[in-house]
Structure 1
Amino acid sequence: MPDGTADGTADITLLIVDDHPVVRDGLRGMFAATSGFEVLAEAADGREAVALAAELRPDVVLMDLRMPGGGGVEAITELARRGLPCKVLVLTTYDTDTDTIPAIEAGATGYLLKDAPRDDLFDAVRAAAEGRTVLSPAIASRLVSRVREPRGDSLSTRELEVLRLVARGTSNREIATELFISEATVKTHLTHIYAKLDVKDRAAAVATAYEKHLLP
C-alpha cells in the first residue's frame, strides 16, 4: 500500500461513491495509476458512503448524487452533521440547479462533471483535500448568474422543486423517488415551505405559491 509521494508528502486518501461498478472501477484504476493518491474503499450508495467515511476517515469523498439506496445530498448532509473532516467532491453527470445548489448547501467542497478531463479531476481532488472550493466552469457560470438574479422569495431551489411536484398532486413517496431523497427529507422540506409561506397544509402552500408567482 503506498504511503506517500516521491517528495515525502502523504498520499491523498479517497473514498469513491457511485452506484455504477464500471464507474467505480474506472476511477479506482485512474487514481491507482497516478502517484499521490490512495483509494481506501468504494461505496454504492450514500448510506454505505457515510459508514465507510466514518470508519476510514478519507481525505476526500468522490460523491455521485443520484443513487438508489441513498442519495449524495443526504450523505453530504449526514457527513457534515457528524462533523467528519473529509472533504466531499461531487462527481456527477447532473448539472441542473436542483442538483448543484442542494449539494453545495449541504456542504460539498466542490462540484465536477464526469466529462471533466482526467487532469482536471486530479487537480480538483488535490484542491478539495486542501479545503479549496472547486467548481466546473459550467456550474460556476450558472451559479454566478443565479446569484445576480433578483429573487422575490426565500424558498431554496430544492424547496421550489418539491413545491412544483406538490402542485402536480405528487405524493411524498413519489416526490422522494423522483428527487432521490427520503420521505423524511421531503417532509422536512414541506415543513420549511409551510413556515416560509406562512401556511399550514399542501393546498395552501400551492395556492400561496401561485399568488406569489413562485410557480409557473
Structure 2
Amino acid sequence: MVSALRGLLIVLSLLAVKSTLAADFWQNDWVVPERTESKSLLIRPLKAADSDRLFHSYMGSQEWLFDRLGWSWPSEKSSLEQNHSMVQLHLKQQQNNDAYTYIVIDRERDMVVGVVYFVPVIQQRGESGIITSQNFNAEVTWWLTQPAVNASLHNDLFELLTGWLRNGWPWSQVLFPVAESNEPARALLDNSSARLIGRNRDTEELFYSYTLARK
C-alpha cells in the first residue's frame, strides 16, 4: 500500500505543480480546445463519468506502462479509490485552468486507450539547469495501452496530437519530457521535428523541444 500511494503521489505532484518560471501556460482570454479526432482516434476532455473506464484501461497494461513511463505509476496496487481521487484532481485543475487532461478513445472499439496531459513546466526542470523553463508554455505527455501501441495507434496519436497543438492551442513552444525506457514515445519524437535538448541522468528522462510553427 505504501508503494502504491507513493506512486500515486508522484503522478499527482507532477500534474499539480505550477511553475512561475515558465512562459504563460494560460491566459484568461484564451479558449480551451474542446476535442480533436481522426478516423481512428478521439481526444476529448476527461469527465467524472470516465473514471471506471480509465482505471480498467491503464490497469489492463499496468506492468507494461510501469516499466516504460518512469512515473512509478500505475502501481499493481492501484485502486479504484485512488483513481477516483486522481480524476477529481484532474477535473479541479481543468476547472481552474491549471492543467488539462484529455482521454484518448479508440473510435472503432469505443474504448479508452490512453491519456494526454497538458501541464505547466515543472519548476524543478529549470532549477536543474538542463533546460530553460521560460522558453516553454507547457509540458505535454501521454500514455497509451500496450494493445493500442501494438496496433500502431501511437503513430496516429502523435500525428493527431501535434496537428492539434499547431492548430488548436495558443502556445508557441512545448516541452516533451519522456523516460529513456519509453521506446515507443522516443521513436516518435526522434523521427519528428522535435529537438532533443537535454537528458537528466538522475531521473533517466529525455527532454524534447517542439516549436509550433504556424503559417
TM score, norm. by length of structure 2: 0.28
Q: Which entry has the higher C-alpha Rg, 1 or 2?
A: 1
Bigger RCO (CA 8 Å, 6+ sep):
2
Higher strand share: 2
TM-score for both structures, normalised by structure 1: 0.28
More helix by share: 1
